[in-house]
Amino acid sequence: MKRRTFVVSTPGRIDGALREALKFDRDEVLAFVERGAVYLNGRRVKDAGTRVGPGQKVMVVLEEGGESVVAERAQPSPPLVVLHEDQDVIAVNKPAGVVAQPTPGRVGDSLLDLVSAHLKYEAGLVHRLDRETSGVTVFGKNPRATSTLAAEFREGRARKEYVAVTPSGLKEQGVIDLPLSKDPSRPGRWRASKQANGIDALTKYRRLSDDGEHCVVALYPETGRTHQLRAHLAGIGFPILGDSLYGGGGAERCLLHARVLDLTGPGLRVEAPIPEDLSRWMK
């Protein structure tokens, strides 16, 4: 039997705690609850809306007898949207809810699986977007191209533009220069603070609109740290809508989209259209 156990750190619903702690999407959480695979303080949970509090212990049975307890609920693979393809590079529009690469206990295909199936051989993974983030992702089609692309990201030559939705009140433009460090009180979370001994991280931003309740903002990361944009916006008091890990609510998913990617080496600029769940905020 394969199982995962964690202790709740913040009050809320058990479905939210599962999504935050184990990076499950909503359908996976519902599937585990419906199969009776979730336990709270040793008692089976029958309702995904069950309230939980700090210190309570949650256990999830991921596999029994070597097989996933929700394998039969695996969803059909989403269609692969190719934005650009040449002899060296393929760029695709990653849907929200798809992981970048296979992970233990994950039901369904990763973006790497989908691209590799399209190519009929293993694609070269060079960068990743978070599960709930949508937008431009590139892969190498051969070892030389993969190495070149990886160097673009590693050496900071890949220029990126993201779009996100935040609470109202963000300044017209600015620079967030806050080091990032792992949050010891919240596994999987990063904190943006000059007080902690963190790694340098720099994000420029430009507000696109503000309707009095929410802002749409363009984000230009100058560094490529894990959760940089999410942690930076939360660090200045404007968490991205739907980003429950960093205090954002009001949406079904973290409303962050990788809209543009400029690669200086290949001389390639790729744009991904704004998804419907984000574009309605822009209207």
Degrees, nearest 5: CA angle 116-126-68:
55
Domains of the chain (ranges, CATH numbers): 2-73 (3.10.290.10), 77-283 (3.30.2350.10)
- The predicted pLDDT at position 108 comes to 46
More confident residue, 232 or 23: 232
Query: What is the three-class DSSP state of 181?
Result: strand
Kindly state the percentage of the chain with pLDDT values over 90: 57
- Residue 31 pLDDT > 90, yes or no? no
- Which residues, listed in sequence order, are joined to residue 177 by a DSSP beta bridge? 202
Mean pLDDT (the chain, rounded): 88
> Each residue of 79-108: pLDDT tens digit?
899 999 999 999 999 999 998 887 544 444
> Which run of H or E residues covers position 113?
helix 111-119
State residue 43's pLDDT score: 80
pLDDT at residue number 67 = 52
Task: Identify the pLDDT of residue 227.
Answer: 95
Q: What pLDDT score was predicted for residue 35?
A: 76
Mean per-residue pLDDT, 142-151: 94
Please say whether the beta carbons of 138 and 127 come within 8 A. yes
Looking at the annotation, which residues are catalytic? 130
Cα dihedral value 42, 44, 48, 50, nearest 10: -50
- Three-state DSSP state, 140: strand
Task: State the Cα–Cα distance between residues 281 and 258, nearest whole angstrom.
Answer: 16
Summarize the confidence of residues 27-32 as an average pLDDT.
Answer: 80
Tell me the pTM. Answer: 0.73
How would residue 2 be classed by pLDDT, with cut points 50, 70 and 90? Answer: low
Q: How confident is the model at residue 187 (pLDDT cuts 50, 70, 90)?
A: confident
8-17 burial string, b = 16+ CB within 10 Å, else e? bbeeeebbbb
The β-bridge relationship of strands 38-40 and 57-64 is: antiparallel
pLDDT band at residue 165, thresholds of 50, 70 and 90?
very high
- Reading the block at residue 261, the tokens are 């990617």
The DSSP output letter for 243 is: -
pLDDT band at residue 143 under the 50/70/90 scheme: very high
User: Does the pLDDT of residue 280 top 90, yes or no?
Assistant: no
Report which of 40, 183, 24 is spatially closest to residue 103, judged by C-alpha positions. 24
